[in-house]
Structure 1
Amino acid sequence: MTTHKLLHNSLRGEASWLTCELCSTAISLIRLYPSVSTTQTVFVQMCSSLGYEERHICSGIADLFGEEFVYILSNSKLSHTEICGLVIAPRCSSNNDYPYAPKWIIPLTKLNSTLKEMLINRQSEEEQSLNKNLAKANNSEILHLSDIHLDMYYQMNAYASCSEPLCCRTGSSHSSKSFHAGYWGSFGNCDTTIRTLESLISTVANDYADQYRYLLFTGDYIAHDVWNTSKQEIITTTRKLNKIFRQNIPEGKIVIPVIGNHEGFPVNQFCPPQLGIRRFSVQWLYEELLDQWKDWIPADMHETFRENGYYSLSDGPTRFIVLNMNYCARLNFWIAYDHIDLGDMLKWMESELQNALQWKQIVYIAGHIIPDNEECATHWTIAYNDIIEKYSNIIKGQFFGHTHMDEIRLYYSNFNRSKAIGVAYATPSVTTYGDVNPAFRLYNTNFLGTIVDHRTFYLNLTESNKEFKLASPMFTPQAKWQFEYSAREAFNMSSLSPQEWHRVMSTIKDNKKILDKYYQFYGRYSGEEVKMKPDAAKLELVTNRVFVRF
């Protein structure tokens, strides 16, 4: 999820004229007077005077970002407005050439005749196999957890809905909207308690162990107090998580961990090693996580992960391509320093897809930030879409998180704008941050690896906290994780193919029942802001976010 209200509200792929002007003015001032003190002054003044956050929080964020931001702006070859168009919204670019001018095009590998023929043959082989094995059982389902945001300082009965971006801690401020944090967690800008996480991991280990082979953790393990964090805090939290995982995960499961934007220090900032700038390197993080995850990440991928934070994992006919999506993120300001394929990740992704094609493997793509026009740089998302279309015959699933909500993104063909060629899932979060109930998901696959359904489970926070209050002192409370919905059943789908998702989402504008159902699942029966949005606002969000078109 975005780091604080300033970034959450401003950097979403859309922007007003005022936002663009403020961005350009701020960059101009910092470039004119390139110093950390200038950056801090400009940022704090904008942040606090516009009412995004309290002044001490704005100051804490500015202290973390100042030195890195000055270096990037002083060395970037992009103009003020080009940077604003890149990190905020295309409309901020005064040249009106973003993202289609030649300088923004990311070069991709052209398929030779041999690879084209292999892709065509794969499709034909799958169709024949499907006709012969319609009833064949599946044993390779995927369990997906995302956006844990563990808060090791969560305090029951502390104030929720305080004036800071993260509440439910000793010392959280009180306001007219405040209420006391619950035993299992709380709405009101609060993150995950250790007991809730332990309950979740224990539940998926004991109650669902026979229902999945792959266990995905798609990033954001760190709490939302981004103005007050440190490298040591990130190391301590990830080690605590790793310990909980290893104490509960059954043997034989293939664990696939992913790096999120909150693992960076400062948050969101990931300077790739290819730039050769050691003072801002994130190698300390990659080294630490590799040490924690070394038996989950294949040995032949250790060096790749150590350098870039991404890797691939092969399991017989299945290959997971695990991306470090911070290299596409608008909030990673290093994209203003090197906007062409930061970290060489798309180049690497294409080579992995070619390897999978040659080895006759199917592919799942996993990452943290879901590729769209809001969170990723638009020109990067265009290139990603091109790759998805090129290899759509072998890409069977795309799994992300980051938004904390239950969402999808649909990608479309460059040659047929009504043909959906890919669907990416934003699995709902474990954290309650954003006023949502904690959740996890199981993806059902068939013998070809195709996703045929997904089932979502959640913890009703209000009921669970109420049960704790009513229980006797001798009662040991248990969190009740319950079934929420099946995608195929809820939306009456014949499959979970991209084109079938296109059909369902296209009917929303004419079917209030489906729209309301989508929003019910969007926030997992919680969050008054989600439930009370008028239909026009609901429809606008679905239209703007689900359909990724260029």
Structure 2
Amino acid sequence: MIRDCLVLLCWLCTVNGKIGYFWHITDIHYDPRYSTHGNTGSMCWNTRSNIDSGRIRSDQRPPGMFGEYNCHSPWALIESAAQAMRAKHGEGIEFVLWTGDALSHTAGMSEELRIQSLKNLTDLLSHTFTGQFIFPALGHEDTGVNFTQIAHLWRHWLPNEALVTFKKTGFYTIEQRSENYHIIFLNTNLWLSTSSIIDNRVPQRNGGQVIDHSADPSGQWTWLENNLRKARIKAETVYIVGHTPPGVYEREGGASALHEKHNKRYIRLVRQYSDIIRGQFFGHWHSDTFRVIYSDTGVPVSWMMMAPSLTPSSPGGPNNPGLRLYKFETNTGQVLDYKQFYLNLPDANSAGKANWITEYSMLAHYDLKEITALSLHDLADRFTQSSDSAFVRYYAANTVSLPREVEEIWGCGGALNGACALRHYCAVTRLNPDSYRDCLSSYADALASVGSQRVSPLHYVPYLLTTWLACR
């Protein structure tokens, strides 16, 4: 009864509001060396070692026109995505979020080539959305070029006050003065963990500067807290946008990217200002997933969405290319729904034509009435209920409808069992790495309590829920 009243109240609040839309595109990973004359066994490059007497070796297949699951994005794929965004919903777009990793880390590009590649992508998006602003966030692959050079490329999108901040630090804020919300763009490269640098997932330099491992790199924490405090005083709501999210990667056994101290501080800050934060939008993991943040007493208070990548390649397993269109209430920033689009990569390569289609709409796909922290908490709980199809639906979306014969090589494969569901459930609901590990080990403890009896992990869902606070 209470929930129905809240839904009605939310609906009444938005009846008179203006409905708007924004696109979210992330992790393009453009590789200018991609070639259909290369081979899939060597990053889809056309190199001398790949060629035998002027021909591709017989044991290797030439790359497809729109990309391959083990290679980063060719220009044809990126261009098709831009055309799809314009064709599917080019009008009525308020803005576009572009959350980083525009370039490929595999290409070994010089600074000159990186700048030229960023310019090509910027020009493409500018021509696609001639009447809208595109708001970019830096990814860890967008380094090796200093902030001033990048700011020059994006100067027609960002207002002067944003450019001043961006040139110095790589972060900025956008105020929607005609509305009641503004958007905070983080430079999450400043918070990356040392292990992320060591394992070569991120370069050691950040916009031409060595990464700062102090308590407040480039003053981003102070800046973020000041912006949130001002927004609360002015009764404004906020979107937080960045490349690398807090928490762990659901596909790679709990891998995390942010340094532990920054990860914990981010969660604390979101808890503190959850009353004004209307959404958090990230990329980086390449997968389609979401996260829920809880108060100190275990109440769901905020949510974040991770959109899937445009590139089909990922260290944690491939996915089909994806694009996301959000529907929101412009007066308050309240997100109402989103529509996920995707490209069936094998079909596109076979047909020689990119047919971007709707994969699903959030509310209909998961049988939700609204997008809130509570509704997403309830959705995550449904992952662990064997009588509910929510996890099967979520897992198909997580890999962007990857063909089963490809997916079985990675991830859960054909065994969508309780252990697989538990891993995803823990990643969605436990954003501290320690809490994530506690969540997983709680199942092992439950299993040990009944000895060697063979029981599905789903049998222990009540146990997991009753030990919620202990696992956080």
Which amino acid counterpart does residue 425 of structure 1 have in structure 2?
A: M
Shift of 1:540: 3.9
Aligned pair partner of 1:301 in 146, 162, 175: 162
Q: Distance in 2 between matches of 1:407 and 1:254?
A: 26
Q: Distance in 2 between matches of 1:496 and 1:257?
A: 24
Aligned pair partner of 1:259 in 104, 116, 138: 138
2:335 aligned residue: 451
Shift of 1:343: 2.0
Which amino acid counterpart does residue 83 of structure 2 have in structure 1?
A: S
Aligned pair partner of 1:364 in 214, 233, 239: 239
2:397 aligned residue: 521
Q: Among the aligned pairs, what percent are the same residue?
A: 23
1:331-342 equivalent positions in 2, closer than 5 A: 331-332=196-197, 338-342=213-217
The answer to whether residue 86 in structure 2 is matched with residue 205 in structure 1 is: yes
Which amino acid counterpart does residue 455 of structure 1 have in structure 2?
A: K
Which amino acid counterpart does residue 407 of structure 1 have in structure 2?
A: T
Shift of 1:178: 4.6
CA-to-aligned-CA distance 1:34-82 (integer Å, 9 cap, x gap): xxxxxxxxxxxxxxxxxxxxxxxxxxxxxxxxxxxxxxxxxxxxxxxxx
2:65 aligned residue: 183
Shift of 1:462: 1.0
CA-to-aligned-CA distance 1:186-210 (integer Å, 9 cap, x gap): 11x2111112211211221233112
Q: Which moved more, 1:534-543 or 1:512-521?
A: 534-543
2:96 aligned residue: 215
- Residues 465, 388 of structure 1: alpha-carbon distance in 2 compared, 3 angstrom cutoff: same
- Residues 176, 448 of structure 1: alpha-carbon distance in 2 compared, 3 angstrom cutoff: farther
Shift of 1:408: 1.0
- Residues 359, 490 of structure 1: alpha-carbon distance in 2 compared, 3 angstrom cutoff: same
CA-to-aligned-CA distance 1:194-232 (integer Å, 9 cap, x gap): 122112112212331124211011000111316x23322
Q: Distance in 2 between matches of 1:169 and 1:344?
A: 44
The 8 Å contact of residues 139 and 212 in structure 1, kept in 2 or not, is answered as no
CA-to-aligned-CA distance 1:82-131 (integer Å, 9 cap, x gap): xxxxxxxxxxxxxxxxxxxxxxxxxxxxxxxxxxxxxxxxxxxx999847
The 8 Å contact of residues 140 and 214 in structure 1, kept in 2 or not, is answered as no
The answer to whether residue 320 in structure 2 is matched with residue 437 in structure 1 is: yes
Bigger share in helix? 1
* TM-score relative to the length of structure 1: 0.66
1:471 aligned residue: none
- In structure 1, stretches of 5+ residues that fail to align are 1-125, 266-283, 469-477
CA-to-aligned-CA distance 1:501-525 (integer Å, 9 cap, x gap): 0111112112362222111101111
Aligned length: 390
The 8 Å contact of residues 191 and 224 in structure 1, kept in 2 or not, is answered as no
- In structure 2, stretches of 5+ residues that fail to align are 1-5, 51-55, 198-203, 249-255, 433-471
Shift of 1:413: 0.9
Instruction: Give the RMSD, CA atoms, in angstroms.
Output: 2.5
- Residues 129, 361 of structure 1: alpha-carbon distance in 2 compared, 3 angstrom cutoff: farther
- Residues 247, 212 of structure 1: alpha-carbon distance in 2 compared, 3 angstrom cutoff: closer
The answer to whether residue 420 in structure 2 is matched with residue 538 in structure 1 is: yes
Q: Distance in 1 between matches of 2:263 and 2:22?
A: 25
Shift of 1:405: 0.6
Aligned pair partner of 1:493 in 349, 363, 368: 368
Shift of 1:140: 2.4
The answer to whether residue 348 in structure 2 is matched with residue 464 in structure 1 is: yes
2:172 aligned residue: 311
The 8 Å contact of residues 142 and 215 in structure 1, kept in 2 or not, is answered as yes
The 8 Å contact of residues 453 and 488 in structure 1, kept in 2 or not, is answered as yes
The 8 Å contact of residues 148 and 221 in structure 1, kept in 2 or not, is answered as yes
Aligned pair partner of 2:121 in 241, 253, 269: 241
